[in-house]
Amino acid sequence: MFDKDRFIADCVEAVKDGQAAVRDVVSEAVSDPAGIVRAFGEPEHAGVNAVYRAKDLTIINFVWAPCMVLGPHDHHMFAVIGIYSGREDNVFWRRTESSIEAAGAKTLGSGDVATLGTNIIHSVLNPIGKMTSAIHVYGGDFFDPVEPRSEWDHETLTERPWDIDRVRKVFADAEARFYAHPGAA
């Protein structure tokens, strides 16, 4: 049965052994989606909810509003993504001489886990009409990374500095659109 404090302690230990060890911890956690919901609560609001934060590890409970998109961005640290409710579609991007271009995609459903290397650029879409919930574990401080992060404009694919306030606004705006028109998703 999922225990939030045990999960955090296991991640703190696992990060010392690297991404594969963290993946094992996340895989075990998302095998009990009902336990995670009991621990974190039923997802009602889209957001970036920090569960644990240190220089070498950040655990975030992401809740994606229905049909929301977070544009291309990088992390400059490894990431392990575990879905415990809904679906998350990732588009992977690679740098070109002047911008980025799509290079692949992966769909994750409840119980699925994905690992992203330190140089991965991805965008995220919740393509379904309900909230999607995921545990993301990062091998560093997601909110204050050692190396400056980038994000790219959805339309122009122009690179700009990553901004957590802009990211939080994307989540808030997506939630507001959903609750303003709940049947439209």
Per-residue pLDDT reduced to its tens digit, 45-87: 999 999 999 999 999 999 999 999 999 999 999 999 999 999 9
- Tell me the average pLDDT across 91-117: 97
Distance CA 53, CA 60 (A): 9
Left, alpha or beta for 127 (phi > 0: left; psi -120 to 50: alpha)? Answer: alpha
pLDDT in tens, 119-134: 999 999 999 999 999 9
pTM confidence score: 0.94
**What domains appear along the chain, each with residue ranges and CATH number?**
4-184 (2.60.120.10)
**Under 8 Å between Cβ of 43 and 63:** yes
For residue 11, what is the DSSP state? H
- If pLDDT is split at 50, 70 and 90, which confidence band does 15 have? very high
92 CB-contact burial (10 Å; exposed 0-12 / middle 13-18 / buried 19+)? middle
Whether residue 185 is predicted with pLDDT greater than 60 in this model: the reply is no
Whether residue 94 is predicted with pLDDT greater than 60 in this model: the reply is yes
